[in-house]
A and B are shown apart, each in its own frame.
Chain A
Amino acid sequence: MRRIKSLSELERWRQDILGQRAQYDTTIYVCGGTGCQAYDCQKVKAAFQREIKEKRLEAKVSLKITGCPGFCERGPLVTIQPQNIFYQKVKPLDVPQIVSETIEKKRMIEHLLFEDPKSHQKFARASDIPFYKPQMRLILSQNELIDPNRMEDYVAIGGYQTFAKAISKMSPIEIIEEIKKSGLRGRGGAGFPTGKKWADCRKAQGDPKFIICNCDEGDPGAFMDRALLEGNPHLIIEGMLIGAYAIGARQGFIYVRHEYPLAYKNAELAIKQTRRAGLLGQNILGSGFDFDLEIAQGGGAFVCGESTALIASIEGRAGEPRGKQIHTVEQGLWGKPTNINNVETWADVPLIIQKGSAWFSSIGTEKSKGTKIFSLVGKVKNTGLVEVPMGITLKEIIYDIGGGPKDGKPIKAVQTGGPSGGCIPASLFDLPVDFDSLKEAGSMMGSGGMIVLDEATCMVDVAKYFIHFLQEESCGKCLPCREGLKRMGQILSNITEGKGDEKDLILLEELAEVVADTSLCGLGKTAPNPVLTAMRYFRPEFEAHLKEKRCPAGVCIALIQYSISEADCSGCGACAKICPTQAILGEKKKAHRIIPELCLKCGSCKDICPEKAIMIQ
């Protein structure tokens, strides 16, 4: 690794890297993200290594293991450049053919291309695929070009040049002004103006000052921060360098949640590389600016995403939040001024400084600027990470990019904002996605999880899920959250078990109000949101559980019965074979039946039945 002392040396390093790459005719990019790892992308990588070696192509073909390009559903993903061919669902067995056909003979392999399930059209280039086409991938597009473990890859695409220019040509105040003018708002959920936070921290009295990158992405269903830190850690470090210079911080922390081991590993290595290159440490680029980064690991506590709890965790204590009469920008880590931003916020910073605030603020809506990454998951066809300009409608995200419902059942809602957000019904899918409209609908942007729910999802069950989740994750420090959520959870459990009555809804609303008004931190204050939105938009479902003791979606176990439709059953016996309690009887080729007393309602029979003859009542 070279030691970089100036902007010109950085540029020379970049030219040298590009020069070394000129020898390669072809580069193979294999996604190494956590999603593709679930599909054994390591075996695909090993197969490519073997094949390249056997055919003695090492001098001509370069193999790169990259971060997540977003289309996790179709993994493992492989892109061949410069032909720009995008292969999906690649298996190790496909590799020899890819090398002999696509790389050596420059021919496309039809069956590895993406086929649109609606039009049956095949696409060779990723950018033409309906999943990618409506997106605006300003940040995520870097992921697929970079091996996160090689700093050279980031330098090759112009990495760290924005910081190098900023530190030599801009004053800290100018940078803060630029961020303010861009209209950037915190991507962690609440949408606080980033420029204002930086200015407040710069003004605050106290030395040293700290900056923190919050990668405690606790919202279940959201994984853009993981993908960014895991796939492009140097981008986050560059954003933090610019922020530290602007704020006047000398030490920074990247706080990574325990559940993201790969993000931790990649970020830790990136910090070491940057330090070796002289871009972290003392007198960076000969400017007199000192800054260093450390990595801190969480312990699996959701509440640690809250800024004061996160600080307690970095200090080595239990992650209990404190009241925020005094803001963290004035008294944070060890009582010193501390600026905390989310991973995606830091990732936006280099772009804004490089291309200017006017460019950034031209994207998005009046009050929400730039792009936002969402994780589109749940009952939708195309799942993965999508980056779109603020203001795009929910409908465009779910139907145009997501391709609509997964199992053919109509989509009824989308859950945004994690456990602090809410469920937005399909009737509001024309809503533009920005900080303010989602809040008006009773939900929130949160860190960007979008979980699509269809007719087979019970809204009472979803509300119960979130309350139980938060009850377990409540740190227990303040009473309204600790006890209130417990009682709300009990009421919801009763409803799903058919033991509720109509007074329960009034009590739930009352409790929700008290918990929201009197809890200490954001966890408790926003905890009732999922229940309130579910009750607001899906009241008939609650009433069906209460009055008719019926679960319309067929989810709540106490309220459903499995049976077999005699007319549809072919008597294949698959259900009887899989049933864990031998509760299904019947002769071969004759209609089977379920013995209700033995049935566990596990649903295994329904999943396996080829005739779809298993019914839920």
Chain B
Amino acid sequence: MVSDYVEKVIKQHQNKKTALISILHDIQKKFSFLPEEALKKVASTLSMDINDIYGVATFYRAFTLIPKGKHSITLCLGTACHVRGGPKILREIKNLLKIEPGQTTGDKKFSLDVVNCLGACAVGPVMIVDGKICGEMNPFKAKKVIEKLSQNKKRERVI
């Protein structure tokens, strides 16, 4: 299935080697990470060296080779969010989930990522919870979100 999907995506990008980044984005969108099998398939279909594919996949922060958890938490640590207390939120989340940014919890429930700026600085500190932008966050709200999500409640009832 991975292999078929990769073929389809590459075809959509007209077999162009220069579309590599877009191809990897599409694959990650589908599987939530870049499976090894998919990268090998990309290399063989585009007649590229697998090392070059890994080079690109590991250079860009947006790509991950590790499967993501059920809920994704992305915390912005841009300057505006930093001076408004972003690091305190990160400490709280790390303390609660016992993982570092870029990792997924052992029970595969949460993935934590940090980004440098989401461009929503005016409402910072900003956190993206399962794709929804949440503004004016603080450690207390972050804790509530994580607690509710771990009890399998819907995000809408949280924030």
Residue ranges of A at the interface with B (Cβ–Cβ < 8 Å): 34-35, 37-39, 72-73, 75, 217-223, 226-227, 258-260, 296-302, 313-319, 375-379, 383-385, 415, 418, 449, 451, 453, 457, 462, 465-466, 469, 473, 475, 578, 580, 600, 602-604, 607-608
Q: What separation, in Å, do the CA atoms of A260 and B119 have in the docked complex?
A: 8
Known: A451-B79, A451-B80. A299 touches B62 (CB 8 A): yes
* Number of cross-chain contacts by CB at 8 Å: 165
Give the residues in chain A near B135, CB-CB below 8 Å.
35, 38-39
Which residue in chain A gives the minimum CB-CB distance to B13? A316
CB distance from A528 to the nearest CB of B (A): 17
The CA-CA distance from A380 to B120 in the complex, in Å, is 15
Q: Which residue of A lies closest to B96 (CB)?
A: A580
Q: Is B56 an interface residue (CB 8 A)?
A: yes
B4-12, B104-112, B122-130: which lies at the A interface? B122-130
- B residues 82-138 touching A (CB-CB < 8 Å): 82-85, 88, 91-92, 95, 115-124, 126, 133-136, 138
Q: Once bound together, how far apart are the Cα atoms of A300 and B21, in whole Å?
A: 11
Contact status B19-A259, CB under 8 Å: no
**Contacts known (A319-B60, A415-B79); A603 close to B88, Cβ less than 8 A:** yes
Query: Which residue of the partner chain A has the closest CB to B115?
Result: A259
Partner of B60, one of A35, A299, A418: A299
Q: B17 within 8 Å of A by Cβ?
A: yes
Given the complex of chains A and B, what is the CA–CA distance between A315 and B19 in angstroms? 7
Query: Which A residues are in CB contact (< 8 Å) with B67?
Result: none
Whose C-beta in chain A lies nearest to the C-beta of B19? Answer: A316
9 residue pairs A–B, Cβ–Cβ below 8 Å: A217-B117, A220-B78, A221-B79, A296-B21, A302-B116, A377-B121, A465-B82, A603-B139, A604-B92
- Asked if B117 and A318 sit within 8 Å, CB to CB, the answer is no
Q: Tell whether, in the assembled complex, residue A318 and residue B55 are in contact, meaning their CB atoms are under 8 Å apart.
A: yes
| Chain B residues engaging chain A, CB cutoff 8 angstroms | 16-22, 24-25, 52, 55-56, 59-63, 77-85, 88, 91-92, 95, 115-124, 126, 133-136, 138-140, 143
Q: Nearest Cβ distance between residue A267 and chain B, in whole angstroms?
A: 14
Contact in complex: A318, B56 (CB < 8 Å): yes
B140: chain A residues within 8 A (beta carbon): 578, 604, 607-608
- Chain A residues within an 8 Å CB radius of B25: 258, 297, 299
- Whether the pair B84, A73 counts as a contact (CB closer than 8 A) is no
Partner of A298, one of B21, B52, B83: B21
Q: Which residues on the B side are within 8 Å of A384 (C-beta)? A: 122
Minimum-distance CB pairs A-B, first 10: A299-B60, A220-B78, A72-B122, A223-B119, A38-B135, A300-B61, A300-B62, A220-B117, A316-B20, A318-B59
- Could you tell me if B126 and A38 are in contact, using CB atoms closer than 8 angstroms? yes
Contact pick for B59, options A34, A301, A602, CB 8 Å? A301
Task: Note all chain A residues with C-beta closer than 8 A to B55.
Answer: 318
| A465 in contact with B139 (CB, 8 Å) | no
A317 to B58, CA, bound (A): 11
- Shortest beta-carbon distance from B135 to chain A in Å: 4
> By the criterion CB–CB under 8 Å, are B83 and A451 in contact?
yes
Give A378 to B133 CA distance when docked, in angstroms: 18
Distance, CA A302 to CA B118, complexed state (A): 12
13 more A-B contacts (CB under 8 A) besides A220-B121, A377-B122?
A34-B120, A72-B123, A218-B117, A223-B120, A258-B60, A297-B25, A299-B21, A299-B24, A318-B60, A378-B84, A462-B83, A465-B82, A607-B140
Nearest-CB distance from A517 to chain B (Å)? 26
Question: Roughly how many angstroms separate A315 CA and B16 CA in the complex, as a whole number?
Answer: 10
> What separation, in Å, do the CA atoms of A72 and B120 have in the docked complex?
8
Complex interface: chain A residues within 8 A of B18 (CB): 314-316
Contact across chains for A375 and B121 when beta carbons are under 8 A apart: yes
- A581's nearest neighbour on chain B, judged by CB, is B95
Q: Which of B19, B80, B84, B91 is close to A220, meaning CB atoms less than 8 Å apart?
A: B80
State whether A313 touches B21 (Cβ < 8 A): yes
Report chain B residues within 8 Å CB of A580. 92, 95, 143
Complex: A473 Cα to B115 Cα, angstroms = 11
Q: Which chain A residue lies CB-closest to B126?
A: A38
Docked-complex contact A383 and B92, CB < 8 angstroms: no
- How far is A390 from B138 in the complex, measured between Cα atoms in Å? 36
In the complex, A457 Cα to B84 Cα: how many Å?
A: 9
Distance from B77 Cβ to chain A, minimum over Cβ atoms (Å): 8
A543 to B2, CA, bound (A): 58
Which residues on the B side are within 8 Å of A600 (C-beta)? 91, 95
Q: Is the CB of A473 within 8 A of B62?
A: no
| Least distance between B94 CB and chain A CB atoms (Å) | 11
Report B118 CB to chain A, min CB distance, Å.
5
Task: Give bound CA distance, A220 to B123, whole Å.
Answer: 14
Which of B79, B116, B122 contacts A73, CB < 8 Å? B122
The residues of A that contact B56 with a CB separation of less than 8 Å are: 299, 316-318
Known contacts: A35-B123, A316-B17. The answer to whether A602 contacts B139 by CB under 8 A is yes
**Bound: A383/B56 CA distance, A:** 37
In the bound complex, do residue A449 and residue B79 qualify as a contact, i.e. CB atoms below 8 Å apart?
Answer: yes
